[in-house]
Amino acid sequence: MVIGFVSAYSISATLVIIFSCNPVKAVWEVALQELPTTKCINYPASYIAQAAINIFTDLFIFILPMPIIWVLQLSPRQKISISSIFAIGLL
């Protein structure tokens, strides 16, 4: 389920970037963005939305294996060590 969400989000985010302006050519030709006939999305809002979803998915993927780790027959020190290794991925 998580991999499906992350895949769908990644594809949709790529499509938003590609088709963020009308005409599409204005995405990579900045001079076209200045024309009054060109329509582009609100880039800062798009970046904030993408960042929020990325943070959510990163945290969810980090939390996903924690219940399994904490029921293993390991010492608390080993459980914390393994959890810390997963936490490095958040950096």
**CA 24/CA 40 separation, integer angstroms:** 9
| pLDDT at residue 90, as a whole number | 81
- Examine the domain organization and report whether 3 and 14 are in the same domain: yes
How high is the pLDDT of residue 72? 93
- Give me the pLDDT at residue 20, please: 92
Q: What is the SS3 assignment for 38? A: coil
| Cβ atoms within 10 Å of 14's Cβ, excluding its own | 10
pTM of the shown model: 0.77
pLDDT at 68: 93
Find the domain containing 84 and state its range.
42-91
Distance CA 79, CA 60 (A): 19
The pLDDT score that the predictor gives to residue 89 is 82
Q: Mean pLDDT per segment of 10 residues, for the chain of length 91 residues?
A: 91 94 90 90 93 92 91 94 90 80
One domain for residues 8 and 35? yes
Structure confidence at residue 1 (pLDDT): 83
- Exposed/middle/buried for residue 18 (C-beta within 10 Å: 0-12, 13-18, 19+): exposed
Indicate if 10 and 30 belong to the same structural domain. yes
